[in-house]
Amino acid sequence: MPDNKPPQVTPSSVVGAGPNADGAAATVAAAAVLPVEADKQASTEKARSLGQDAWRELRRSWLFWTSGVLLVLLILMAVWPSLFTDVDPRQADLRNHFLGAPQWSHFFQEDWFGYNIQGQSVYARTVHGARASIIVGVCVTLAVTVLGGIVGMIAGYFGGWVDTLLSRITDIFFGIPLLLGGLVLLQAFTDRTIWTVTFALTAFGWMQIARVMRGAVITQKHADFVTAARALGAGTGRILFKHILPNVIGPVIVVATIALGGYIATEATLSYLGIGLKDPTVSWGVDISAAQKNLRQGPHALLVPAGFLSLTVLAFILLGDAVRDALDPKLR
Amino acid sequence: MGRFVARRLLQMIPVFIGTTLLIFLMVYSLPGDPVKAMFGSKAADPATVVRLRHEYGLDKPLIQQYWDYISGLFQGDFGQSFTGRPVADLMADAFPVTIRLALFAFAIELVFGIGLGVLTGLRRGKFLDQAVLIFTLIVVSIPVFVLGNMAQFVVGVKWKLVTPTVQDPQDLTQLTLPAIVLALLSLAYVTRLTRTTVAENLRADYVRTAVAKGLPRRRVVGVHLMRNSLIPVVTFLGTDLGVLMGGAIVTEGIFNVPGVGNTLYQAVITSEGPTVVGVVTVLVLVYLVSSLVVDLLYAVLDPRIRYA
C-alpha cells in the first residue's frame, strides 16, 4: 500500500511515533479521519473530531502497535527481500537434501530454518515468498473495495430498479463461495500468475463490500447534510464522493482490512490445491503444498512458511479489530 | 407469512438461474477442451471428436446447451459425466457423506461456539475471556489446510488416537477429526459474534428490567438475553451450513473423505463440466433454502419482525 500522505492526520504530539513508516496503518487512519473534515471547517474550536479520537484510541492500543510493527516487517520483506537474506530462494543444493535440520540459533543465516526437500534454504524461500502473498492480498483488497464500493454506492443511492438489478447480481455471485469460484475460474488459465489469481479472487470477492456499502449509503442518503448539499446545487457525483463517501467509508475499511488476511489465506489455499501459483513462483502456498508430502521427514519445511502465513493473516485481522474498536464510540 | 414465503421463493428464481448460468458459462466457455482432454496425450481422431462433441451436445451454441441443461434439471436429470456415469449417481454417493460431516461440524460449532460465546460475553475482560479470544484469533489466522495437516500429523500419525485418513465414512468416530477441523474456523466466528452481542445486550434496558423484577439469573440469561442475542448468530449459522458443505474441499482432501468437496475438486481438475455444474447447482440450492430458513427464524426469535 503506498503511503499517500494523509492530510493533517497526525496530531503534532505524536510526530515521534514514526507513523510514516507504517504505510497501511497510516492510510487507514487517514481514511478514518475523512468523515470529519467537512465539519472541521465549521467549528475548528470543537474539542476533538471522531478521527482524532480514533487516532488517540489507536495509539493507546497494543493491538495496533503489535500488528503495525508486524506488518511493517512483512511489507519490508515483500518490497525488499535482500534486506533480510542474500541467498537465492531457487538455489537448490542436493547435498542439503532432506532437510538439513534447522539451526535455530543461526539468526538470519541461510540455514536458520533448515532446508527443504530440494535443498533450498527455507529461510530464503520464506522471505521471498512474502511478496506473492502480500501483493495478491493488497491488490485484491484494493480492487474489491473499488468494485464493491462502486456497485454498493450506486445500488444504495439510486435505489429502485437499479438497486434491484445490482442486488440480484450481488446475490448471484454470493451463491458461489470464494474458494470454489476461484478454483473453477483459475482452472481455465494455463498460465497462472499473481495477476490471474488477483483477478479470480476479485471476481468472487467484491460482494461483501458491496453489501456493506449499500447499507451504509442507504442510511446516509436522507441525512440533512445531503439534502443541504443538494439544495446548494451539488451534483450527484459531488454528493456521492464529497458528502456521502466520507461518512460511510469507516465500516468499509474495517471489513476490507479484516478480509485482506482472508484473501492471503485463500491465495495460499489455491496454491496448495495446485490451482493457484506454480513452482517457479516462490510463494508460501506453493512451499506448504510441496512440504506437505514430506511432513514426517521435514515438518519444519511446512511449519515455517505456514507460521509466516498465519502471522500475516493474524496481523491484518488484529489491525482491522483495532481500527474498528477505535472507530466505534460505543465500545469505549 | 405465506405471502412472504411465496415472494421469497419467487425472488430465488432469478438468483438460481443466474448462479447456475454463471457457473455454466465459466465451466463451458472458458478455454480447455474436455473432449480433447479425454484423449490424454494421444492424438485425437477428428471423426471421434466430432461424434463425442455431438453426443454431449457440445457442438450446440452455449445458450442452447444451458437451456437443455436447465430443462433436464427440472425433470430431475443432472446429465452424464464425461466418464459416462450419471451425475445424479455420483452425487448420491457423495452428498450423504458430506451432509453427515457438515452436520457433525455444525453441531460442534453450535454447542461450543454459542456456549463459549455466552460464557465469555458474560465475563468480558476476565481470564477465560482473554484465553478464548486468543484461541479464536489463532484459529482464524491459521489456514485450514495447515490446521488439517497438523491435526492429521499430530493426532493421527504421532499419537495414533484416530486413523489419519477416513477409511469408512459411515463410522462417526473416524469423522471426528475432520469434523473438528472443518468446524474450527466457523466456531471461532460464532464465538466472537455471540460474545459481542451478549456483551452488548447485557447493558440493554430489558435485561435491567428483567433483573429488577427479580427474575432468577438463569432465566434472565437463558430467555431474555439469549433470545435477543441469537439473531445475528442465527444469520451466520444459517448461511454457514452451505459454506460447510461447499467449503469441505480442503478438509475432505486432507482426510480423504469421499464427499462432495473431493468429488468437486476432482471434477474441476479433470474439466468434468457436467459434474461441476451439477454439484454447484445443488450447493446453490442449499444456500438459497438456508437463507430463507434464516429469514423465517428471525420472526420466531424477534416478535417485532412480522412477515405480512
* Confidence class for position A106, pLDDT limits 50, 70, 90: low
User: Looking at the predicted structure, is the pLDDT value of residue A25 above 80?
Assistant: no
Tens-digit pLDDT profile for residues A43-66? 444 566 667 777 777 777 777 888
Question: Cell 476479485 appears where?
Answer: A202
- Which chain A residue's Cα is nearest to B196? A331
Of the given ranges (B72-81, B89-98, B216-225), which has the lowest mean pLDDT? B72-81
**Residues of chain B contacting A180 with CB distance shorter than 8 Å:** 246, 249, 264, 280, 283
Alpha-helical segments (H) within chain B: 2-29, 34-38, 46-55, 62-74, 87-108, 114-122, 127-141, 144-151, 172-201, 205-212, 217-219, 226-246, 249-255, 260-269, 273-301
Contact: B18, A169; criterion CB under 8 Å: yes
Q: Is the complex ipTM higher than 0.85?
A: no
At residue A197, φ and ψ (nearest 5 deg) are -65, -45
Query: Nearest to residue A21, comparing CAs of A76, A62, A61, A63?
Result: A76
Tens-digit pLDDT profile for residues B153-205? 888 788 887 777 877 777 777 888 888 988 988 899 899 889 888 888 888 88
pLDDT of residue A95: 64
Contact: A306, B268; criterion CB under 8 Å: no
For residues B121-138, average pLDDT: 85
Most confident of A207-216, A316-325, B30-39: A207-216
**Residues of chain B contacting A299 with CB distance shorter than 8 Å:** 153
**Residues of chain B contacting A171 with CB distance shorter than 8 Å:** 15, 18
pLDDT of residue B176: 85
- Which chain B residue's Cα is nearest to A312? B141
* Confidence class for position A321, pLDDT limits 50, 70, 90: confident
Inter-chain Cβ pairs, chain A and chain B, closer than 8 A: 113
Contact: B140, A317; criterion CB under 8 Å: yes
Q: Which residues of A touch B (CB under 8 A)?
A: 168-169, 171-177, 179-181, 183-185, 187-188, 190, 261, 265, 268-269, 272-275, 288, 292, 295-296, 299, 302, 306, 309-311, 313-314, 317-318, 330
Contact: A177, B146; criterion CB under 8 Å: no
Contact: A175, B30; criterion CB under 8 Å: no
**Residues of chain B contacting A168 with CB distance shorter than 8 Å:** 14-15, 18
Give the closest of B32, B142, B280 to A188, CB-based.
B32
The beta-carbon contacts of A239-244 under 8 Å, at least 24 apart in sequence, are A240/A153, A240/A157, A242/A38, A243/A38, A244/A153, A244/A157, A244/A217, A244/A220
Percent of chain A's residues with pLDDT above 70: 75
Contact: B268, A265; criterion CB under 8 Å: no
Tens-digit pLDDT profile for residues A109-154? 666 667 777 767 777 888 888 888 888 899 999 999 999 999 999 9
Q: How far apart are CA A69 and CA A65, in angstroms?
A: 6
User: Looking at the predicted structure, is the pLDDT value of residue A21 above 60?
Assistant: no
Question: Cell 536458520 appears where?
Answer: A112
Contact: B280, A288; criterion CB under 8 Å: no
Percent of chain A's residues with pLDDT above 90: 9
For residues B207-228, average pLDDT: 87
**Residues of chain B contacting A181 with CB distance shorter than 8 Å:** 26
Which of B11, B139, B145 would best serve as a mutation to test chain A binding (most A beta carbons within 10 A)? B145
Q: How far apart are CA B164 and CA B254, in angstroms?
A: 9
Task: Give the architecture (CATH level 2) of A53-331.
Answer: Orthogonal Bundle (1.10)
**Residues of chain A contacting B243 with CB distance shorter than 8 Å:** 177
User: Looking at the predicted structure, is the pLDDT value of residue B93 above 50?
Assistant: yes
pLDDT of residue A28: 42
